[in-house]
């Protein structure tokens, strides 16, 4: 076994052409420094803008992908034992009922791999673009990161992620997960402290996954062929709740008739499609308000054309208006920023 993970980013059009190779040592020490690089990769079939944070035991890759040819994709090839987390963007639209997309990544979901080798293909959306966030950890790094965490000791993961047992887990990208992953890039943290910030966020990420059910554990009472389409439906809503489709549109997108979609969605997820979209919008509204966004701006971001209607639904959900929910400290901060 090598003492480092071999990570390769390739463009594929009938064959794979490796354009970026990264070696990440497996073992790490407290004195290791987190390094940042960004690079533009150009190929005949596409372009990739890569941002990379890395140190021994850890590599975080953000890829912004633009494919120039049909039937092409990027391939992230990770060799040597590792744990990999991958999630995908949602630029553009995609017909989830299109059989040519079967077996490919699903925006709105997060994949967790434990393997000696992982191949992750990212295909463009209709506009030729996509995004991918990948987090690659060595087993020694993860063991140290979660050492002493009681919840991890008692999770079925432990026997898989820290051994040579291969495993694959898939989760919905619920809003708390989205917020954690977005924070990896959006927070302006003093560079020498960035490593410790990442470690805190990664621990938070694994804890949130611990609290969530795997997709494969959901909907045992729903027919298998319908269950997979309901996974598509929820994943689509998770990435499009601000411009949510009608029931008729969602039915066409996932390839399931309206009656079965409405009936089995409620059985599998415990709420109607309309209620789920409202829940997503209200939770995101609360998050945006706490981060200093104005009421009108929040309503617009979440797809509400009528601000009064947004305020009414918000109060019905939380028992107070958006302005009442904003902490006093946030109000004063916002006032000082506008002077």
Provide the phi-psi class of 174: left if phi over 0, else alpha when psi is between -120 and 50, else beta: beta
- The residues, any chain, with a CB within 8 Å of residue 192's CB and separated by 6 or more, are none
What pLDDT does 92 receive? 39
* Cα–Cα distance, 240 to 319 (Å, whole number): 26
The architecture (CATH level 2) of 223-337 comes to Orthogonal Bundle (1.10)
pLDDT on residue 269: 96
The CB-side HSE value for 271 (13 A sphere, CA atoms) comes to 9
Whether the Cβ atoms of residue 115 and residue 174 lie closer than 8 Å to each other: no
Could you tell me the residue ranges of all domains in the chain? 4-215, 223-337
Provide block-wise average pLDDT over 10 residues at a time, the chain (339 residues): 73 71 83 88 85 92 85 84 84 39 66 88 77 91 91 82 86 92 78 88 94 90 94 94 94 96 96 97 94 93 95 95 75 39
Coil vs helix vs strand at 18: strand
pTM comes to 0.85
3-state SS assignment for residue 304: coil
- Give dist(CA 210, CA 227) in Å, integer: 22
């Amino acid at each position: 076994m090598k003492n480092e993970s071999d990570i390769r980013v390739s463009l594929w059009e009938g064959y794979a052409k490796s354009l970026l190779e990264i070696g990440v040592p497996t073992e790490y020490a407290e004195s290791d420094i987190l390094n940042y690089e960004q690079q533009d990769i150009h190929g005949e079939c596409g372009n990739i803008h890569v941002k990379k944070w890395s140190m021994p035991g850890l590599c975080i890759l953000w890829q912004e992908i633009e494919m120039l040819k049909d039937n092409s994709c990027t391939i992230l090839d990770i060799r040597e034992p590792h744990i990999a987390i991958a999630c995908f963007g949602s630029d553009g639209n995609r017909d989830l009922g299109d059989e040519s997309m079967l077996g490919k990544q699903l925006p709105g979901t997060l994949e967790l791999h434990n393997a000696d080798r992982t191949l992750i293909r990212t295909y463009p959306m209709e506009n030729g673009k996509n995004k991918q966030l990948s987090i690659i950890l060595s087993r020694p790094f993860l063991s140290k990161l979660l050492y002493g965490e009681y919840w991890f000791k008692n999770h079925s993961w432990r026997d898989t992620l820290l051994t040579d047992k291969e495993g694959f887990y898939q989760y919905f990208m619920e809003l708390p997960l989205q917020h954690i992953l977005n924070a990896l890039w959006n927070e302006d943290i003093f560079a020498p402290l960035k490593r410790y910030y990442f470690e805190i966020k990664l621990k938070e990420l694994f804890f949130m996954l611990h609290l969530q059910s795997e997709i494969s554990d959901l909907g045992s009472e729903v027919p298998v062929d319908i269950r997979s389409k309901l996974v598509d439906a929820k994943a689509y809503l998770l990435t499009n709740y601000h411009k949510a489709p009608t029931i008729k549109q969602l039915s066409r997108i996932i390839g399931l008739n309206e009656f079965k979609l409405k009936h089995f969605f409620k059985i599998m997820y415990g709420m109607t499609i309309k209620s789920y979209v409202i829940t997503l919008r209200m939770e995101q509204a609360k998050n945006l308000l706490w981060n200093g966004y104005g009421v009108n701006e929040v309503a617009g971001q979440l797809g509400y054309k009528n601000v009064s209607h947004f305020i009414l639904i918000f109060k019905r959900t939380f028992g107070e208006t958006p302005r009442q929910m904003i902490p006093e400290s946030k109000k004063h901060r916002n006032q000082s920023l506008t002077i």
